[in-house]
Structure 1
Amino acid sequence: MVKPKITQELLYQLLRDGKIEEFNHRIAKGESVDLTSCDFRHLNLQGLIANGLDFSNSYFRQADLRGIDFSQSVSLQGASIHGAKISGVYFPEQLTAEEISLSLLHGTRMRYNN
């Protein structure tokens, strides 16, 4: 298991600082960021545009993900959402309701249904 990381990458730090609109704007302008294996614990990520972003092995424990559309994200494979707020979240179709529920309730890492 990969330990979640807190990097000094500027775009990741924008998310940690709650500057979701600025993050979305910079990504839309073509900037890139590596969000794999990142630590998003307790962050409010509402409003995040997740299209094309890779959250593989990331850690969202008790994060506020309400309303995020992850359906066009590169991957949530191996991510954990234990205790997160997920009302209105649109997950990728490769994730079963059981995988999402197990991760939400028990912190398991989500596995894609191939």
Structure 2
Amino acid sequence: MDEFHEHELHTIDHPLYEILRNEEVKKFNQQKAELAELPSFAHGDFRGLDLRGLDATGLDFRHAYFRGADLRGIDFSRSRMEGSSIASAKISGCYFPHRLEADEIVMSLNHGTRMRYAILPKPPAGG
């Protein structure tokens, strides 16, 4: 069962968001590279989009909605993905942030749950 509700999605008022929503990935990557500060795509609606080739480095996709999107080959390892959902997305070849455990990814892919980051142990005091 999908846990997202329409009211949780935000329309993001930024030209890069519109470019991405129009699946113009090459144009998005070019314009992203020219920005000193990246916009947040938190709570964004990316349902059903073909985002293959996306440079996701540094992007904030917290609580974003990727149901049915084609994400094949995207490196999300340096993106923020906590709380996002990838229900029924195509994820072959994706890298995900190291704090996302495999079972969180599978639960989100199969059941639409939001992905939660693993709680990392605190380093020992004085070390």
In which range does the TM-score fall when normalised by the shorter chain?
over 0.9
Structure 2: distance between partners of 1:62 and 1:34: 21
Structure 2: distance between partners of 1:45 and 1:8: 19
1:25 matches 2:65 = no
Q: Which of 73, 97, 109 is equivalent to 1:92?
A: 97
Which residue does 1:83 correspond to in 2?
Answer: 88
Structure 2: distance between partners of 1:95 and 1:77: 8
Alignment map for 1:1-114 (pairs within 5 Å)? 3-30=8-35, 32-73=38-79, 75-114=80-119
- Shift in Å, 1:49: 0.3
Q: Larger Rg: 1 or 2? A: 2
Structure 2: distance between partners of 1:41 and 1:105: 15
- Shift in Å, 1:33: 2.0
| TM-score relative to the length of structure 1 | 0.93
Please give the root-mean-square deviation of Cα atoms over the aligned residues, in Å: 1.3
Could you say what secondary structure the match of 2:20 adopts? helix
Structure 1: distance between partners of 2:20 and 2:75: 16
Structure 2: distance between partners of 1:62 and 1:38: 14
Q: List gaps (5 residues or longer) in structure 2.
A: 120-127
Amino acid paired to 1:86: I
- Number of aligned residue pairs: 113
| TM-score relative to the length of structure 2 | 0.84
- Shift in Å, 1:6: 3.0
Q: List gaps (5 residues or longer) in structure 1.
A: none
Amino acid paired to 2:55: I
Which residue does 2:123 correspond to in 1?
Answer: none
Could you say what secondary structure the match of 1:18 adopts? coil
Per mean C-alpha deviation after superposition, the further-off stretch among 58-67 and 30-39 is: 30-39
